Structure 1
Amino acid sequence: MNEKVLSGARNVAIVGPYLSGKTTLLESLLLITGVISRKGRVQDRNTVGDVATESRDRQMSVEVNTASLEHEGIRFTFLDCPGSIEFAQETYNALIGVDAAIVVCEPDANRVLTLAPLFKFLDDWEIPHLVFINKMDRVNGLYMEILHALKSVSSRPLVPHQYPISDGDRVVGFIDLVTEQAYHYHAGAPADPVPFPETLKAQEQVARAELLEGLAEFDDHLLEELLEELAPSTDEILQDLKMELGADLIVPVFIGLAEQDFGVRPLLSALLREAPEPSTTAERRGIILNDQLPLAQVLKNYTTPQGGKISLVRVWQGTLADGAVLNGVRAAGLYRLLGQQLQPIAAAVAGDIVALGRLEGMKTGDTLCTDAGCVERVRELPRAEQLRPMFPLAIAAEKRSDDVKISTALGKLLEEDPSLYWQQQGDTHEIILWGQGEIHLQVALDRLRRKYNLAMTTHVPQVPYKETIRKPATVHGRYKHQTGGHGQFGDVYLEIKPLVRGGGFSFHETIVGGVVPRQYIPGVEMGVREYLEHGPLGFPVVDVAVTLTNGSYHNVDSSEQAFKQAARIAMQEGMGQCEPILLEPISQVAISIPTDYTAKVLRLLSGRRGQILGYDGKSDWSGWDQVSAYLPQAEMQDLIVELRSLTLGVGFFDWQYHHLQEVPEKLVERVLATLENGNSQKSTHR
């Protein structure tokens, strides 16, 4: 458990869109630093990252993977984050604990929009980041076009660190724009310096000017040198890169081909030289580093079959010892991670990202400290905003005997993935599991089956329709039942009236002369309420007022139960006379999209019976709009699927229940037929 004393640390997240090559980049970093002797491949399911069964089955990252290594006296901890927008919460939660991020993307100017939400998060949190344009074998000589497209989705200026050298359609090397030294790539070895290709002098000068001008925006001395046409020194440029990257003022851009390790060594060297130290990040977050009180934060929880709960934490200050008691819970083990491998260590210091065992009750984002009173004294560390779930499925255990396990298993699942949400729907009695999309929920269901031996069936959730009435009615209900002993007798007159929308339900009585004794009136109300749970159309009834106006009783045979039955008979008789109508829940949605897609989204909403309230520029999102509308809940099930399809995957929405509205007459028959078919199937299953 003894560790080599290192001179510093760098915590780096690897982020970017799905299929950009993040896990392949991590494999390359591990290979060139000597951690592994042979690279794995995603398609071969043998990488250090993407170790979860759900990741390997889909050949995509579905959770954060961690790899800790030593290189040139620095402790690097890389967090390989999911690229799919459906797992963005995983990425955001991890990013709050790192000092820098590598944004991996493909050289496709038409897809840079997929980076917009990620750049927005990085800039909002002031997380220094570099761009690595991967798969440069596909660039086709359009490097500057790609660079300028990337600039359109970043609020920070992007500055090129390298310029590609091509041989026909192949990228064979690069020019370092700081030193103006040219290099050729070689498989399995560092790039070799080569003579400067004079045919690229003009293009290289344009790219280098972009680098220097970007740096000069924040360095008056460099600006003066450029205005006087003086060549700045290499040391001055590197110093500016380190200072301005560390302050999240610029975004350096690197190029390469991670699959062949091309460009990965220069990227790693830049992280050594230019990425900020952990103390800089802590100061940016307002953490007082002269206090030796250990302070940490949970970035991610895992549930492992063998070791139980493992929590990935960032140590912000102080020293965390093995067996430490955090927030009243003793940690069972302290580890560094390399994929699934756990390396026990004796202590972790400020700047480390490590794993702690069995921190029961601790959630993602929680602030941890060892002093019993620290929770009151220490400010709660900021955590990533919780994304609103947008895609639901109704779930049920395949085996009835497993019903008792569902709530416990879902609780553990949500500890691991806080972007999930579940609820017991009161009207439909369904368990609804909410997530960020269809794949997200399928991964969750796979985990339930694999980790908790809980196989589930799924279906589209029922819409919680309601019904109400248009007309009033006065009705009489009598219940008379004679047996060998005491009989049953209840007799009521009820007035049924509609209320305004949102009026709910009210019950009154105007009994005089004791024609219905006081002790039986609660039974009348109970009978009315029970009937309204399933009205004449089969749904809960709302916005109705019922008044007990008259009745009669028998001294011996009357009871509260008898009056309850009389009330149900009256309601059953009367509601059909009141012209019942069907109501559907309407949500207010706020859809956020790039401005270029606003017209398509307006058509999408109109095609789903939406009532558009208006649209305007989205606050603090350059080039984005927010469309507000009322939308029937029945039209929202796959809204996020179609929205992402229209917007390269970046569109999203927020929603909340707003009101009930009458279902259009042409749709009522379809809804009632669906209810009848569902009831028939339930009867058959019984």
Structure 2
Amino acid sequence: MTEANANGTRANGNRPTGPRCIALVGPFQSGKTTLLEAILARTGAIQRQGSVDAGTSVGDNSKEARDHRMSVELSVATTSFMDENYTFIDCPGSIEFLHDMRAVLPAVDAAVVVCEADEKKIPQLQLVLRELEDLNIPRFVFLNKIDKADKRLRETLQMLQPASRVPLLLRQIPIWRNGIVTGFVDLALERAHVYKEYTASQVVELSGDDLERERTARFTMLETLADHDDELMEQLLEDIPPPRDKIFDDLAKELREGQVCPVLIGVATRTNGVLRLLKALRHEAPNVETTAQRLGVKANGNDAVGYVLKTINTAHGGKMSVTRVLAGSIGDGTVMNSQDRDAGRVSGVYKMMGQAFEKRGAASAGETVALGKLDNAKTGDTLASGRELPKRLTEVTAYPPVLAISIAAKERKDDVKLGQALNKLVEEDPSITIVHNPDTHEVILWGQGEMHLRVIAERLTDRFGIAIEKRQPQVGYRETIKKTIQQRGRHRKQSGGHGQFGDVVLDIKPLGRGEGFTFAETITGGVVPRNYIPSVEEGVLDGLKQGPLGFPVVDIAVTLIDGSYHTVDSSDQAFRTAGRIGIVEALPHCHPVLLEPIHLVEIVCPNDATAKINAILSGRRGQILGFDTREGWSGWDSVRAQLPESEIGDLIVEVRSATAGVGTFTFQFDHMAELTGRTADQIVASRRAAE
């Protein structure tokens, strides 16, 4: 291997060298895990290519991934190709697990976007490409399953182009024989290859119709490159064949600057096209120095700097922080700080191969490793070995949660264990939100969708051994009154010795919606001593916790206007009880009505699904406020509506079904609205039955 110079390039050229970190991303079930397996097999990291369907792949190695036959967390694997090290990170494609991808992307050198010629998956492809574009990550498209494509490649490219904000640059064209793809032509090298199953392709002579197609496609590629290179444009205009090195330099430059997105083709299940992909990564993908510069890494002297891609709690090794080393060297015993705390002392540096960890020596800049026992490090943290706390390199925010379940341990003895397990899961997956509802005493688990919550529940049982109960969270119904009334509340009890006596008269009135609760007093003549008045208010509040319909009472004004006391038997507790009796006896006569929470909801979706979304909202008692194009998103709409909280519960299931799995929404509380009729009666009856 030729010695690399101080700038991370080979002494005999300007090609980036050194360890690379590459993300494999793309729509759900596009073949990312299979491509990782093919790369590992082709580079000799594994002896035989496994299968996702058979459960023998390096990626998707967790029980949940195997059970559901889908990626539910990222998989990391390190290998070498032509004497250079590469770490590939296979990221889940489902929108429900995209947070893993979002946390990884800032620190990778490049991404391979795995997709297929499927028009239904274009919105998913757009989601992924948008994340890469916003972060300015160099990216290739690997058009997988080319053997199953039912369109010509030019038509496929035209179909995919709306998903990308920069030109999709075709780097290869397929060779067709009797309607079957048998190989490809490399447009940069002007070389034809015939696929060989599970081995390197064979170079063949380019002739006939293939030669004519190659010339046309190559000129189109060069024209696109020339849009950003005046010298190349002049050469094309003057019919001067550009030097091959010049073409490769332009390909690498425009990839790094995000001006084009090269498209390669292949079949991952048979490793077709994998070698060409690896060579493109080797020659054109930038290295860690470019990535560090993009992130603004500033290391002092020999200080090490790293970025935590993922946190994993292992059964035997404890906490592992999957880290990209961006500068310096991190070894066993290195003390690391994060941007706001002491992260801890590294206890072991590990190479990763799926879920297998192998201890190794210190990791240098560019390498991606797992660091053991950094107890205070979190996903997305910036780590540094110097005395000064580093600045955060990037901020990774999770998508807002869209679906919730209420969970509880079946055995009371597991309550503490459940809390600890949830904290570990949130540490691994920050897109989980845990809410403790003080009104209902529920633990609410919020996630990114139905499968996301299912996987979390399975992990609680399988990994932590906690049997849990799941149910729908209670809706925040309230009740209020519509009629004014005066009511006496008297509490008298004699049981030998000092008795209990409290007597109050309450004036009870409805308030405007959203005004809450007020308490006042107009006592004269000391009929209720001043020191007992706060106890009366406390008793009223006790009585308002559950009204006659079964829900907390709001928007009500209570005034203490009269009462009486006993010099011996009156006490704070007696007047608190009297206040509660007064309000409880009054409320059924105040014309109580049910209130339901109404939320402002904004749904984003591809515009061909907008009509379906409007129908879904209308069918859920929603009031549509309007819709507009989604700012900055070609082909997407944003629909705004007011929707009852009870209708938000499983809304995401319908939204995803109507939008090919990519629609999502945000919501926030707006107001309480009166609910009457059959729906209200059913809610009240259900509440009483539950009690």
TM-score normalised per structure 1? 0.96
Corresponding residue number in structure 1 for 2:505: 493
Larger CA deviation: 257-266 vs 618-627:
618-627
* Residue of 312, 317, 336 corresponding to 2:351: 336
- Counterpart contact for 1:467–1:539, Cα < 8 Å: yes
- Counterpart contact for 1:141–1:169, Cα < 8 Å: no
Corresponding residue number in structure 1 for 2:187: 177
Larger CA deviation: 488-497 vs 398-407:
398-407
- Counterpart contact for 1:420–1:433, Cα < 8 Å: yes
Residues 235-254 of structure 1 aligned to structure 2 (within 5 Å): 235-254=245-264
CA distance in 2, matches of 1:319, 1:301: 20
Output the amino acid matched with 1:367. Answer: T
* Residue of 539, 562, 573 corresponding to 1:527: 539
> Is 1:317 paired with 2:327?
yes
CA displacement, residues 272-291 of structure 1 (integer Å, 9 cap, x when unaligned): 11111111111112223674
CA displacement, residues 274-331 of structure 1 (integer Å, 9 cap, x when unaligned): 1111111111122236743211111101111111111101112122122111123112
Residues 464-475 of structure 1 aligned to structure 2 (within 5 Å): 464-475=476-487
Larger CA deviation: 115-124 vs 501-510:
501-510
CA distance in 2, matches of 1:403, 1:341: 31
Corresponding residue number in structure 1 for 2:13: none
> Is 1:104 paired with 2:114?
yes
Corresponding residue number in structure 2 for 1:265: 275
> Is 1:411 paired with 2:419?
no
- Counterpart contact for 2:306–2:383, Cα < 8 Å: yes
* Residue of 522, 547, 563 corresponding to 1:510: 522
Corresponding residue number in structure 1 for 2:554: 542
- Alpha-carbon distance change, 617 to 200 in structure 1, aligned in 2, over 3 angstroms: same
- Alpha-carbon distance change, 291 to 283 in structure 1, aligned in 2, over 3 angstroms: farther
CA distance in 2, matches of 1:217, 1:298: 38
> Is 1:166 paired with 2:167?
no
CA distance in 2, matches of 1:330, 1:450: 30
Corresponding residue number in structure 2 for 1:684: none
* Equivalent position SS for 1:179: coil
Shift of 1:124: 0.1
Larger CA deviation: 4-13 vs 582-591:
4-13
Residues 103-252 of structure 1 aligned to structure 2 (within 5 Å): 103-252=113-262
Corresponding residue number in structure 1 for 2:584: 572
Structure 1 gaps of 5+ residues are 680-686
Corresponding residue number in structure 2 for 1:682: none
* Equivalent position SS for 1:152: helix
Larger CA deviation: 25-34 vs 228-237:
228-237
Corresponding residue number in structure 2 for 1:24: 34
Output the amino acid matched with 1:391. Answer: L
Shift of 1:203: 3.7
Corresponding residue number in structure 1 for 2:640: 628
> Is 1:606 paired with 2:618?
yes
- Counterpart contact for 1:498–1:543, Cα < 8 Å: yes
Shift of 1:197: 4.1
CA displacement, residues 382-401 of structure 1 (integer Å, 9 cap, x when unaligned): 13222111110111112122
> Is 1:369 paired with 2:384?
yes
Shift of 1:244: 0.8
Output the amino acid matched with 1:59. Answer: R
- Alpha-carbon distance change, 341 to 573 in structure 1, aligned in 2, over 3 angstroms: closer
CA distance in 2, matches of 1:559, 1:141: 86
Residues 279-678 of structure 1 aligned to structure 2 (within 5 Å): 279-288=289-298, 291-327=301-337, 328=342, 329-372=344-387, 374-375=388-389, 378-678=390-690
Larger CA deviation: 327-336 vs 77-86:
327-336
CA distance in 1, matches of 2:301, 2:179: 56
- Alpha-carbon distance change, 649 to 197 in structure 1, aligned in 2, over 3 angstroms: farther
Shift of 1:201: 4.2
Count of paired positions? 673
Shift of 1:641: 1.1
CA distance in 1, matches of 2:468, 2:153: 48
CA distance in 2, matches of 1:342, 1:480: 72
CA distance in 2, matches of 1:43, 1:461: 36
Output the amino acid matched with 1:111. Answer: K
Superposition RMSD in Å? 1.7
- Alpha-carbon distance change, 422 to 202 in structure 1, aligned in 2, over 3 angstroms: same
- Counterpart contact for 1:105–1:131, Cα < 8 Å: yes
Corresponding residue number in structure 2 for 1:683: none
CA distance in 1, matches of 2:229, 2:69: 45
CA distance in 2, matches of 1:47, 1:525: 65
* Equivalent position SS for 2:107: coil
Residues 72-87 of structure 1 aligned to structure 2 (within 5 Å): 72-87=82-97
Shift of 1:210: 2.9
> Is 1:62 paired with 2:77?
no
- Alpha-carbon distance change, 580 to 49 in structure 1, aligned in 2, over 3 angstroms: same
Output the amino acid matched with 1:368. Answer: L
CA distance in 2, matches of 1:471, 1:206: 82
- Counterpart contact for 2:436–2:444, Cα < 8 Å: yes
> Is 1:255 paired with 2:265?
yes
CA distance in 1, matches of 2:208, 2:229: 30
